[in-house]
Chains A and B, each alone.
Chain A
Amino acid sequence: MSFLDNNLLTLILFFPVASSLVLLFLPGKEKKLIRWVALLASLVPLILSIILWLNFKTGIKGFQFEEHYVWYSAINSSYHLGIDGISLTMVLLTTLLIPIAILASFNIEENVKAYMVLFLLLETGLLGVFVSLDLLLFFVFWEIGLVPMYFLINQWGSEKGERELWGGIKVKARTYASFKFLIYTMTGSLGLLLAIQMIGVVSGTFDLPTLFASWTTLNQSLFGLPIETVKTIAFWAFTIAFALKVPVWPFHTWLPDAHTEAPTAGSMILAGVLLKLGAYGFLRLVLPLYPVESKHYAGALAFLATMSIIFGAFSAFGQRDFKRLVAYSSVNHMGFVVLGIAAAARVQGTENAVIALNGAVLQMFNHGISAAGMFFLVGVIYSRTHTRNLDDYGGLFTLVPVYGGILIFTSMGALGLPGLNGFVSEFLVVRGSWPIFSVYTAFAMVGLLFTGAYVLKGIKQVLHGPLNEKWIGHLSEISAREVIVIAPLMVIMLWIGVWPAWILNVINRAVEVLF
């Protein structure tokens, strides 16, 4: 067991890649086999992360399950993995959502092998970001995750739709969306890479725990630039990269495009995990490395967060496309994450900060669960009706009562109904940020009100009202496989809503010692 104990993170991290190599050697025509192998392969990291979760000790300060090997000794970068409560939560979220997303993609028929290989590759990329304790490694994984997602949107995205660029030039919607997604993230990556290089050169190491200890008090110049300037540049580079990824208003417009055009499982992972990378970056790098700067600019961040909350909700409410409505809800929900982070940055180390961060991290997890569920449910109805236009549905509750019940349940989780998961985290964010940003928190309530409005709009247009008769006989009830996909998400939504202590215990200890 000691090998397993010592290398658990590596195993979780590289198992998906290893199994994707196996997949490569399977014959492409055996679709069923490929699907099942991919699913089983993705279950292994899930089981391992549950073992990880059970063996994680909440009382300990610092990182656990650390692995430290020489990797790139010439520039002092090492293969350094480790987790604390925040990363553990995100690892669990990722390893949980990937098998669910793979099971949800069992109806993919085109090029199944490439699809599954990309998906497993994606998993490694995402997990790598959460477990890296070395800046360069962090960056490598940050970029790796981008590539599979680009192809998933670009190749398996929605068939229909066009976007007009300028002067009448039109491109396929999925081409547009995938390109926008890629360029946007790359823009952030540029600064991120620059900042990481600067830090590496100034401090002589990329190792995060070492940096946490030394960076804030570091006093050295880089090519004649004073350390203050270096820090400011690096701070902004980080902030922009992560703000684009979250995304924070007004950098959010790639999100509705990418989420809408991606295949169902792609949207699930985009909303479920990819958006969390940005927020995780704030928590892991920006707050600990730049306590002074983040405190100084916390107000601005809170402002942008509030704008995300409000305008995300408004824009969601203004949609006629069901999937785009759900996509915009992510802008709205991630706004609460950022609001919590901003509040915590302003009053680091206080009880309010801890509560706000608890809320932010839990909201990351919760949004991952409920957004994945919502996108999946949109996919279920789309795969049957081949329309996403809300005006084309109507009164479907009569035809698909089970689906209807599940949709209402999941929507209520997204809406933040007490008793389900979203409420706990939103409440904590509101509680944590009220004493610090009272006015912003109050304005965020406008967003919360319209969260209700758009969620109900979705239910109203799809399920309620007079039955649109053209679907009679053309709409089958949600299948057993699809119920198996959504059921674990529903259980978790209820579980966290009723008894959040199991997960907050882990988060709480981690955010207490974050600064």
Chain B
Amino acid sequence: MTDPKAHMTDEEKHQLALKLDQDLEEFINARKNTPYSEGWNEETWEQEMEQHPFFMKKLPEEGEPLPPLLEAFQQLKYDPEENTTEDLALSYKDDGNFNFKLKKYRFAIANYTEGLKQKCGNVEIDATLYLNRAACQFHLGNYRSSLNDSLQAAKLKPDYTKAVVRAAQCCLKLKRYADGQKWCDYGIRLKNTDPSLVKLRTELVQGQKLEERNKRKEEIAERKEEALINELVTALRVRGINTGIKRKKDSERAILDLSSIEPCHPAAIGKRVHLVDGCLVWPVLFLYPEYGETDFVQEFHEDTCFMDHLQLMFEELPLWDLEKKYNPASIRMYYEHRDSGKLHVVDPNCSLKTVLSQKTYVVQGGTPGFICLVEGSPFQKEFLKRYTS
């Protein structure tokens, strides 16, 4: 190809340049009569630039009046009079997709919702809107909403594999394993082979198995616990020990209410009476009202007697015993019968079992307690007086 300009001589080029300059000059002179009036004002140009849709740096806030140009654009795009519902739905879909890409899922959800509000009646568009909204909800962790939207999409378009995959993913998150498997099977049927669905299905099956295993394990543990409790309650009943355990009705089966033998003394919490080789082991409290002191024996075997423990506890004088008068020989033990308000003397050479089996003994708060006083002391006289009056 030949270029005609290539054949111009330097003289000709110069002439042409001169002519063009002249033309431009004439054009500018001709324009001088009509002064430019639409330009931005020198004082306010920054503000005006900010309001121009091309240059604006941030979107107008909610409620703020829209700059006229922007309003015009919006009308073009969103005015129901200018657009069909289908166009509008598509516009909102595009907005949603834009926000989705920026990971602004809540905005995107609002966009898709607007799109659906148009009720454009186009199944393809509506199904996409639902599914895209489902994707946003999924990313926000709203799996239930996501599932609902996926199902809506699949309802509109029964062969929408993507919707089925999303529904199955939600089911996995929601631990609705059986439903998830159904959706996988449905999806696999739609699309003979789909590795992602096959994989998802495997995950769902594994999840379900784990859940079932844990349930079985729990049930077995529960049953064992129940058997243990029954054994304990039987042991208490055989010994005629009064603990105030009640049966409470719970839906189908009677459950034993063990709260009455659950220790409430801070030192005894979690040390409930239990069976060791068919014998009961109790948490026991020794109370010294004279000094407001207590001793706590975590494991008091029912066949041992009080003297054994007293000797062990008073091997050394306790710090609080200012008068050095408390020792196994001087201590007298009592228990209180709540209903009659009477004190009963305990023989320190008796086993715990013998004392607890007495009709007048009621175990309070799962922890047998015994009052210890010094025989012949003024405090003893004082204390016993309260019970005789």
> Do the two shown chains form a genuine complex with each other?
no
- Which residues of A does B touch, CB under 8 Å? none
- Which residues of B does A touch, CB under 8 Å? none
